[in-house]
Amino acid sequence: MKREKDGPEWVEAASVGDDEKAILIAGYLESRGIPAVVEGPSNTPFPEDIGAFGMSRVMVSPDRAEEARRLIAESERRGPHRVGEESEAEDE
């Protein structure tokens, strides 16, 4: 999950309270073909409980941001399911 240094500045697709959830979201986006990177508190020397500065952000390229946000929203509506288990929405 690397960001291209020569391309445009990436934008936030999601913001969550911990690195682990952000990593899962980024992995989900990557599995759908959208490159993503996590920027979060573990990347800084500051404590994690300092409001918005304690949030982990999932970053994507601007041209994929809308698609990424849509996929994240759809995934959240479906709710948690086990890996490898197809959701009803995907079967339709």
Domain count, the chain: 1
- Alpha carbon separation from 82 to 78, 79, 85, 86 (Å, rounded): 12, 10, 5, 9
Q: Is residue 2 part of a domain?
A: no
Q: Is residue 4 part of a domain?
A: no
Q: Is residue 66 part of a domain?
A: yes
Q: Starting at the edge strand that comes first in sequence, how are the strands of the sheet with 56-60 ordered?
A: 11-16, 56-60, 36-39
Could you read off the pLDDT of 28-71 as tens digits, one per residue? 999 999 999 998 765 544 554 444 456 899 999 999 999 999 99
- Which pLDDT does position 81 carry in this prediction? 58
Instruction: Tell me how far the alpha carbon of residue 4 is from its chain's centroid.
Output: 16
- Which pLDDT does position 76 carry in this prediction? 86
Q: Is residue 51 part of a domain?
A: yes
Q: Is residue 55 part of a domain?
A: yes
Q: Domain span at residue 55?
A: 11-78
Give the model's confidence band at 77: pLDDT under 50 very low, under 70 low, under 90 confident, else very high.
confident
Q: Is residue 5 part of a domain?
A: no
Residue 40, classified by CB atoms within 10 Å of its CB into exposed (0-12), middle (13-18) or buried (19+), is buried
Could you read off the pLDDT of 10-22 as tens digits, one per residue? 999 999 988 889 9
